[in-house]
């Protein structure tokens, strides 16, 4: 154990914190005496020694309220904080109890030698700290049910108490912490620095450097008042001995005296079956996501929520107290395990065909399975038969198993759509590995956040993805799509190539197939409405997606499918269709040309074509480049689909002229449910013509497709969706959908997942309903109209305004190419601002001319406070078509308050 300076052994009495610390009510402060058995290390006292603790405890206040507690939450801080970390939880739990909510007693301790507890003059190792906490709870005569809540090294101490008190334990809750340090990974750099020879004492005790560094980890930065509150118990070196003692107690090697206790606690945690909650800050430079991954492995039943942007001081970065109290309320009185979101047990499962069934059925067929339009060889399209694809899938699956990829392992796929991605995807699914798919269109930062959040055990990628993985420290065993020279493979940390796997799996010996209710995939959203979310699907739910597409559009064995949208290209083999991705940059839909579409159609004799709205726009723009043979090829298309964002009737009409035999469809869906409703061009025209005068407007996306169901939760005067979900026509509210192919849950986003679910009283028990975040209404014919997104709803003095309808009316003005409406000012009194692109593109940002502003105001009944002209409206990353109205609102507010006329 590292030695500390003399100041570490100075004893001092416990005390109450000084008055006036922000957010800390003195009425919760208590001093408690407890007899502690001290032994081990520098402490070797046979008889118990009485020590005085400072704690925050709302128990006396709850007694004054006359409420009966439902349980106790025992909160343990880490290093170098103190019970002040838990102040909001203590206050909020007490306030909740006063208003009739379940009453939780919150006890937040200052560990001995820390905060305002007694300075013992001893270095207290981990076994001693676990005994200390037990002594305190004995003195408090604590009875069950008890849930522990720990942060940093307080997480380990709290888990030690939890393991030792199964008779009292009802659950465990954690903020960033760890119970295991892998021998293969270094101790985090900040801790290595603090432990360095000659640094430990100076950084932790003699100076406040360690404390100040920790306080600087908050996002956003802490106020000076809150920083001073954290500093309050550690003003002198004599009072900082516990900080140094905690750092010195980090097990850095096999000889460390606390390592055995850490191993004991880690093993005990793996055996816990009580409900568990982990609230995590991914920006933590100390307890990174790899420690979260280890904890999830030990407690796979845990509810996990990663707060993007939060870091080590997660209790300061986000409203963790409300999240914890919400979780406690959901599980009041629970003593059994929570459902494990990544294992079997999702309830009744329909007997649908597995996604790889057609690969088995057609394993001897020489018919075309897929075509790559841009092979690296430059020798023309690469044609892959069902026989070859089926064999490659079996070989790669077998090779993956031999390379250590197991059922339940997460595998991140960083491969462009094509034969390699298709073969690897189906191979992973076949052995029960969980595929993690994040669009490169998220950008390097977004992709990094997604991959690290999913924390895969393996990464399979082409050179660009592997270079990014190496440079940015993405986790997982690395497998390359091609063989690299030995030096390159070492530089990229590549253990295998696909060719290696094919050789390893030449015998095609496969493990047992996964169950329908096993997790199959984590598919990341586009990031157009906030940080990309991982959407979890089971095997059965993915099979239900394929079934819905097949039944709605007649896609099956022998169908030729052109997919300019990667998810549908990957479903081709599951549908039994010949599939091809046209020559384009998949992450940039605007790179697709009409000629490339025609060539792709001809390559597979396609009858079905799926493109994003942004791709359709460019296809129409480049239509003059089509040759006579291209037009002939396009005549074979009988079904055209475009989805991912609202598609206008003029745009569908324009693309329909290129495919005279096709029925244009615009399905409505999202990553959480890829096909919810559908409408044809003819039905759009009928719906638009029959829409009543003065209706909310919006984009009509048709009636529920396949087995989907749609309900609307009405908005109240504050713009919140609080109405009981119904199918009553004409009511604007949040759109709620249900289908067998709706997502299972969000990955490691418990709070988001909870908010996305909605009970619908009029439907069967156990049916999954997803809150889409979209706003719209149903008409009298049962058709769904999209009016915008929930965050884009404006609450004005004259009532609720949803954006799409007014935007459509503004776009009827001849001079305007595209429009967006945004809100400026406080909610409840927001002013509506129109931001427009003109047909004759503006060179710079500015106020619209009086004539244009007048025409805009005349086009819509919504009062428009100002009209701004921009060269281009900001759009989302993946689709290049969804307008970022939140960004526009912030920008417009700055412009109208006298800011510079910068582009949004």
Question: How far apart, in Å, are the Cα atoms of 718 and each of 14, 639, 832, 833, 865?
Answer: 49, 42, 16, 19, 20
Confirm if 601 and 619 have CB atoms less than 8 A apart. Answer: no
Hey, is 881 helix, strand or coil? coil
What 3 state SS string does 534-550 have?
A: EEEEEHHHHHHHHHHHH
* d(C-alpha 559, C-alpha 576), whole Å: 7
Q: What is the pTM of this model?
A: 0.89
Can you list the residues of the chain whose pLDDT is less than 50? 1-7, 41-42, 333-349, 376-377, 877-880
Backbone angles phi, psi at 641, to 5 degrees: -125, 140
Residue 592 host element (H or E): none
Domains of the chain, each with CATH number or no CATH: 32-186+254-330 (3.40.50.1820), 341-540 (3.40.50.12780), 672-791 (2.30.38.10), 793-896 (3.30.300.30)
Confirm if 80 and 111 have CB atoms less than 8 A apart. Answer: no
Q: Which pLDDT score, from 0 to 100, does residue 344 have? A: 37
List all residues 6 or more positions away from 839 whose beta carbon is below 8 Å from its beta carbon: 814, 815, 816, 817
List all residues 6 or more positions away from 785 whose beta carbon is below 8 Å from its beta carbon: 696, 697, 698, 699, 700, 701, 776, 777, 778, 779
Backbone angles phi, psi at 444, to 5 degrees: -60, -40
Backbone angles phi, psi at 175, to 5 degrees: -100, 175
If we measure between CA atoms, which residue out of 531, 571, 530, 526 comes closest to residue 553?
A: 571
* Cα angle for residues 249, 254, 255 (degrees, 5° grid): 65
Q: Which pLDDT score, from 0 to 100, does residue 339 have? A: 41
* d(C-alpha 318, C-alpha 307), whole Å: 8
């Amino acid at each position: 154990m590292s030695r500390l300076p003399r100041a570490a052994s100075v004893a001092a009495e416990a005390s109450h914190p000084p008055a006036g610390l922000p957010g800390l009510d003195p009425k919760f402060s208590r001093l408690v005496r407890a007899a502690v058995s001290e032994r081990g290390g520098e402490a070797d006292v046979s008889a118990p020694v009485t020590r005085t603790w400072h704690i925050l405890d709302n128990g006396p206040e709850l007694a004054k309220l006359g409420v009966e507690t439902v349980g106790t939450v025992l909160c343990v801080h880490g290093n170098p904080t103190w019970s002040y970390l838990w102040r909001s939880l203590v206050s909020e739990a007490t306030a909740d109890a006063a208003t009739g909510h379940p009453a939780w007693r919150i006890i937040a301790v200052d560990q001995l030698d820390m905060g305002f507890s007694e300075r013992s003059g001893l270095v207290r190792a981990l076994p001693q700290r676990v005994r200390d906490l037990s002594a305190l709870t004995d003195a408090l005569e604590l009875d069950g049910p008890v849930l522990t809540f720990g942060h940093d090294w307080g997480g380990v101490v709290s888990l030690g108490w939890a393991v030792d008190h199964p008779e009292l334990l009802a659950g465990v809750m954690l903020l960033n912490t760890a119970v295991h340090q892998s021998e293969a990974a270094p101790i985090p750099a900040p801790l290595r620095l603090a432990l360095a020879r000659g640094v430990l004492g100076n950084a932790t005790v003699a100076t406040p450097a360690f404390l100040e560094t920790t306080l600087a980890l908050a996002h956003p930065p802490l106020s000076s008042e809150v920083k001073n509150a954290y500093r309050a118990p550690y003003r002198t070196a004599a009072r900082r001995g516990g900080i140094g003692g905690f750092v010195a107690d980090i097990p850095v090697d096999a000889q460390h005296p606390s390592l055995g206790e850490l191993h004991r606690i880690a093993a005990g945690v793996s055996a816990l079956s009580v409900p568990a909650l982990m609230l995590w800050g991914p920006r933590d430079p100390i307890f990174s996501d790899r420690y979260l991954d280890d904890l999830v492995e030990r407690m796979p039943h845990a509810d996990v929520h990663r707060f993007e942007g939060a870091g080590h001081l997660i209790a300061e970065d986000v409203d963790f107290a409300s999240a914890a109290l919400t979780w406690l309320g959901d599980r009041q009185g629970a003593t059994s395990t929570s459902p494990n979101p990544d294992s079997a047990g999702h309830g009744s499962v329909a007997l649908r065909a597995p996604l790889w069934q057609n690969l088995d059925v057609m394993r001897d067929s020489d018919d075309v399975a897929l075509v790559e339009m841009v092979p690296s060889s430059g020798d023309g399209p690469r044609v892959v038969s069902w026989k070859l694809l089926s064999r490659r899938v079996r070989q790669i699956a077998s090779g993956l198993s031999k390379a250590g990829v197991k059922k339940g392992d997460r595998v991140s796929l960083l491969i462009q759509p094509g034969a390699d991605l298709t073969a690897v995807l189906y191979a992973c699914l076949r052995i029960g590995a969980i595929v993690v798919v994040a669009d490169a269109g998220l950008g390097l930062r977004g992709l990094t956040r997604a991959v690290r959040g999913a924390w895969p055990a393996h990464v399979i990628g082409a050179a660009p993805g592997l270079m990014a993985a190496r440079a940015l420290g993405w986790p997982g065993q690395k497998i390359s799509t091609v063989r690299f020279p030995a030096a390159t493979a070492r530089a990229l940390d590549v253990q295998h190539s696909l060719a290696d796997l094919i050789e390893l799996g030449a015998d095609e010996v496969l493990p047992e197939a996964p169950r329908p209710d096993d997790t199959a995939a984590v598919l990341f959203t586009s990031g157009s409405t906030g940080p990309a979310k991982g959407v979890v699907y089971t095997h059965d739910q993915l099979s239900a997606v394929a079934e819905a597409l097949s039944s709605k559009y007649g896609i099956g064995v022998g169908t030729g499918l052109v997919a300019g949208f990667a998810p549908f290209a990957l479903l081709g083999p599951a549908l039994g269709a010949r599939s091809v991705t046209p020559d384009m940059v998949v992450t940039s839909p605007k790179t697709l040309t009409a000629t490339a579409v025609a060539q792709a159609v001809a390559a597979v004799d396609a009858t079905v074509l799926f493109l994003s709205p942004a791709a359709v726009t460019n296809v129409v723009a480049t239509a003059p480049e089509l040759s006579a043979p291209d037009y002939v090829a396009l005549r074979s298309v009988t079904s055209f689909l475009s989805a991912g964002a609202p598609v206008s009737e003029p745009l569908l009409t324009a693309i329909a002229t290129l495919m005279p035999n096709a029925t244009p469809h615009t399905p409505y869906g999202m990553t959480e449910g890829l096909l919810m409703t559908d409408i044809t061009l003819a039905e759009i025209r009928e719906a638009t013509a029959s829409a009543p005068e003065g209706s909310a407007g919006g984009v009509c996306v048709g009636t529920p497709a396949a087995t989907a169901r749609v309900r609307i939760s009405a908005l109240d005067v504050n713009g919140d969706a609080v109405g009981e979900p119904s199918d009553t026509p004409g009511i604007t509210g949040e759109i709620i959908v249900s289908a067998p192919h709706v997502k299972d849950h969000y990955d490691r986003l418990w709070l988001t997942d909870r908010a996305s679910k909605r009970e619908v009283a009029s439907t069967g028990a156990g049916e999954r309903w997803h809150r889409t975040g979209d706003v719209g209404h149903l008409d009298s014919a049962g058709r769904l109209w999209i009016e915008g997104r929930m965050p884009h709803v404006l609450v004005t003095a004259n009532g609720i305004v949803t954006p799409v309808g007014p935007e459509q009316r503004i776009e009827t003005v001849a001079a305007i190419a595209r429009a967006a409406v945004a809100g400026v000012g406080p909610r409840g009194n927001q002013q509506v601002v129109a931001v427009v692109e003109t047909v004759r593109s503006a060179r710079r940002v500015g106020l619209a001319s009086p004539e244009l502003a007048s025409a805009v105001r005349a086009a819509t009944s919504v009062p428009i406070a100002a009209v701004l002209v921009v060269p281009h409206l900001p759009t989302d990353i993946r689709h290049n078509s969804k307008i970022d109205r939140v960004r526009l609102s912030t920008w417009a507010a700055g412009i109208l308050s006298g800011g510079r006329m910068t582009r949004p």
